Chains A and B, each alone.
Chain A
Amino acid sequence: MPDLPDDRDRPGTPDLPDDRNGFDTPSRPAGPPAGPGRTRERTAVPETPPAPSGAPSAAPAGVIHDIGYRHYDGVRLGRAHAAGALTLHTLRGVFGLGRPARSKIIPFALATIMMFPTVVSIGVMALIKRDPIISYTGYAVTMQVVLAIFLAAQSPYTVAPDLRFRVLPLYLSRPVRLLDYVGAKVAAMTAAMFLVLAVPLTVLFVGELVIDPPGPAHTSDYLTALAGAVVLAVTLSCLGVAIASFTPRRGLGVAAVIAFYLLTSAVSGALAAMLESVNDYTAAAWAWVINPFFLVDAAVQVGLLGAKASGPTTYPAGAGVVVTILAVVALIALSVTALILRYRKAASR
């Protein structure tokens, strides 16, 4: 009876059941059904020791069998390489590379919108030979809505899936430490934000050099804008990733980050308008820097590097510059601390 399926297996697939036969046959009452007359070249070996290997009567509960996998004895690239790989993977993911096509639509659409002022400026420069219509240092402030949407749409991607599927312990079982993980995520988002802002600036600058409108090139403006872009990218990414890391849901993360931007910008605008209507321009200047874009502009581009204010009015001057710089540093420190605390908790689960 039990050899019926065995017989059926033989003619069709001579190779495949090889392994299974070796496992099955010993549990059968020795050889009689198979019969000596039948051709059994392959399974002959496991048939000889039937009782000891097949019957798990006295076997302990947990045994690790060495099933003959080869060990890895190549070079181990270590912690730094793992962190770098994680950063690159996250950066690619922010732009949807290595993800399906519909994940690429939003980041690339937003990056394209960021190019619009550059394209228009280059066109105008080429046609009527005048300075760029958009200033280098004012680029980020002018396009702040697009930058904010990019931050909100993409920073939850960097953290939400890992939290949702609870794969953090898997990362941490490798040489990557918790700080490396958090650092990789923030660094990738920072690089993405910087690219989105610096590429249009650079294209605009190259365009200006090529077209060469009358008057000196705005080299210092361009470098100031790049410095501003670095600080802006760091600040916004730390904030965005920190806010997004508090929920494992991507949709809610997007809403939370954009709510942060809209709240600060709307509150800053409303407060400044109120204060200007009572002619308190010093307080209004402080109200403007509630908006993180104006804050970084005030601290870095205007305060440290002496550019012209890109905001609607003036920024706090004198000691106010120091306060805005401290505020930027405090904002970054606060976000990073929150992020690390959040991940300590997430990793311990």
Chain B
Amino acid sequence: MNGVIAGISYRALLGRRRIWLLVLLPLVLLGLAVLLRWIGEAGEQAAVTLMQTFAIGTMLPLLGLIAGTGVIAPEIEDGTVVHLLSKPISRPVIARTKFVVAASLLALFGAVPTFAASYLLVGSESGIAYGFAAGALAGGVAYAAVFMLLGIITRHAVTIGIAYALVWEGVVGNFVPGARRFSIQQWAQTVADQVSSSAFLSTGITIGFAAVALLVVTIGAIVWAGHRLRGFSLTGDE
């Protein structure tokens, strides 16, 4: 961890237009929760569906994409990353610091609103709120690591990340059940399922697999990101 790099990364993410997207997504989730409650359909099933489709299925990958790539990709695009890399700071430390920044933002803008929205809907009933908060936190941390790595590897990180989140996790996962085993979103839901006792939430993956996969993917992505930064070559734009 390096405090200065963390501070710069926070400022880059929160001080620009990026923050509007980071704020907008949780606001829509809370708005939907309020609306659902107002319509009078704030049952357990509705809460689980909203959390599955919107909080974990839509908001979390998008936040992961914005925060995960946002900590490093703009610097690479600008070329200002050379100033960072020329300092006598170990590159894996840079990668870890950037990851911690992205993961903390996902916790703040992803897990906390998820908890608030589900608590608004069902209170602490069958642990849904705690379950989805834990799931969003675990999934958000993994998304932050993977998308940060993607931002270092390629200049088209956001597009590839979206294609992964929408096509692989969304479309392919719906038709090919086997693809669900390799989806951060499904692992996050498995964590949520483990904590909550709701009958409406069930996933096809065991918690053992999901937990190990989350850990492996997160740590692997951070280590690989550090490794990539050690031999980083700055290529020209387009």
Contact = CB atoms under 8 A, between A and B. Distances in A.
A259 B25 contact: yes
B32 A258 contact: no
Contacts of B66: 252, 255, 259
Contact of B158 (A113, A145, A255, A266): A255
A103 interface: yes
A251 B159 CA distance: 8
A106 B238 CA distance: 14
Interface in A204-255: 246-247, 249-252, 254-255
B74 A251 contact: yes
Contact of A145 (B36, B40, B74, B171): B171
B226 interface: no
B151 to A, nearest CB: 8
B62 A258 contact: yes
Contacts of A146: 167
Interface in B27-54: 28, 32, 35-36, 39-41, 46, 49-50, 53-54
Consensus secondary structure, chain B interface: helix
Interface stretch (A14-22, A119-127, A268-276): A268-276
Interface string B56-67: 011000100110
Contacts of A166: none
A111 interface: no
Interface string A97-137: 00110110010000001000000000000000000000000
> Which of A106, A258, A273 has the largest count of B CB atoms less than 10 A from its CB?
A258
Contacts of A277: 41, 46
Given A254-B162, A255-B158, A274-B39, A266 B54 contact: yes
Interface in A145-163: 145-146, 148-149, 152-153, 161
Interface string A194-210: 00000000000000000
Nearest to A262: B58
B167 A149 contact: yes
Contacts of A251: 69-70, 73-74, 77, 151, 157-158
A327 interface: no
A250 B57 CA distance: 24
A263 interface: yes
Nearest to B57: A266
B41 to A, nearest CB: 6
Nearest to B156: A106
A278 B41 contact: yes
Nearest to B238: A99
A269 B65 CA distance: 22
A259 B62 contact: yes
A267 B32 contact: yes
Interface string B140-163: 000000000001000011111011
B25 A274 contact: no
Given A247-B17, A249-B77, A259-B25, A266 B167 contact: no
Contacts of A250: 77, 158
Contacts of A103: 238
B70 A252 contact: yes
B238 A270 contact: no
A206 B66 CA distance: 42
30 contacts: A106-B156, A106-B159, A145-B166, A145-B170, A149-B159, A149-B163, A149-B166, A161-B238, A247-B17, A249-B74, A250-B77, A250-B158, A251-B70, A251-B73, A251-B77, A252-B70, A252-B74, A255-B21, A255-B69, A258-B62, A259-B66, A262-B62, A263-B28, A263-B58, A266-B54, A266-B58, A267-B32, A270-B49, A274-B39, A278-B39
Given A149-B159, A247-B17, A263-B24, 16 more contacts: A100-B238, A146-B167, A149-B162, A149-B163, A251-B74, A252-B158, A254-B159, A262-B58, A263-B25, A267-B28, A269-B53, A270-B32, A270-B49, A270-B50, A271-B32, A278-B40
> What are the 3 closest A-B residue pairs judged by CB atoms, nearest first?
A153-B159, A254-B158, A266-B58
Interface of B: 17-18, 21, 24-25, 28, 32, 35-36, 39-41, 46, 49-50, 53-54, 57-58, 62, 65-66, 69-70, 73-74, 77, 151, 156-160, 162-163, 166-167, 170-171, 238
